[in-house]
Chains A and B, each alone.
Chain A
Amino acid sequence: AQKVTQAQTEISVVEKEDVTLDCVYETRDTTYYLFWYKQPPSGELVFLIRRNSFDEQNEISGRYSWNFQKSTSSFNFTITASQVVDSAVYFCALNTGRRALTFGSGTRLQVQP
């Protein structure tokens, strides 16, 4: 069985604050891929990052960074100096090649001006 847990249902921050979105996953497969997607109010899903299970290097892309730790089965996402445009629902997802992408329940991020 595979599962993705995003324990934070909703987070509210003030602009320019840093914020970390947590993601914990479960799988028995040794090869898998983890993803983060952003869903703005318009409803489409926007791909942010893909990480495979053999690559535990952290990644930084502008104000976004991701911390992957196999020891704790976590793939956390940090936004530095948040902006109002970051307000969205963020989904963590897991792909083991079985059936389909498994999504977490999402974290709604509200960035107040």
Chain B
Amino acid sequence: EADIYQTPRYLVIGTGKKITLECSQTMGHDKMYWYQQDPGMELHLIHYSYGVNSTEKGDLSSESTVSRIRTEHFPLTLESARPSHTSQYLCASSPAEKDYGYTFGSGTRLTVV
């Protein structure tokens, strides 16, 4: 059973809409991440957080924003969706120790029409 949950699994939305992709984990991990990935392609880090009230932008420029008000919750928001945002968004978490790999959610496949 997954310990990190992403909702929705699939989303089709019109241009200009505001959307929030949800990510929650039950493992008490301090670190959480958002990656953007076109199908079968490279994963690009767009946001990460090392704990509550800590958020940083990743390597890939993104028009999205994130928040980390609770340890278990790391939502990603697009204020105004565009077709260029069509992609898969993967959320992950990890403990503080770097020798652990990440636990990934099942992803949200977003299509902006």
Which A residues contact B (CB, under 8 angstroms)? 32-33, 35, 37, 39, 42-45, 47, 50, 52, 89, 91, 93, 95-97, 99-101, 103-106, 108
Contacts of B40 in A (CB 8 A): 39, 89, 106, 108
Q: Which residue of A lies closest to B107 (CB)?
A: A43
Q: Known interface pairs A43-B106, A43-B109, A45-B90. Does A35 touch B42 (Cβ–Cβ under 8 Å)?
A: no
Indicate if the CB atoms of A45 and B42 lie closer than 8 Å.
no
Known: A50-B101, A95-B98. A103 touches B42 (CB 8 A): yes
Query: Would you give the 0/1 interface string for B76-105, flagging 1 where the beta carbon is closer than 8 Å to chain A?
Result: 000000000000101010100011111111
Residue positions of B touching A, CB distance < 8 A: 33, 39-43, 45, 48, 56, 58, 88, 90, 92, 94, 98-107, 109
Contact of B101 among A42, A47, A96 (CB under 8 A): A47
Chain A residue with Cβ nearest B90: A45
Give the chain A neighbours of B94 by CB distance below 8 A. 101
Do residues B88 and A43 form an inter-chain contact, with CB atoms below 8 A?
Answer: yes
Q: Once bound together, how far apart are the Cα atoms of A96 and B98, in whole Å?
A: 7
Cα distance, A97 to B30, chains bound together (Å):
13
Complex alpha-carbon distance, A50 and B98, angstroms: 11
A91 touches B101 (CB 8 A): no
Q: Is the CB of A95 within 8 A of B41?
A: no
> With A33-B99, A45-B90, A89-B40 given, is the CB distance from A99 to B104 under 8 Å?
no
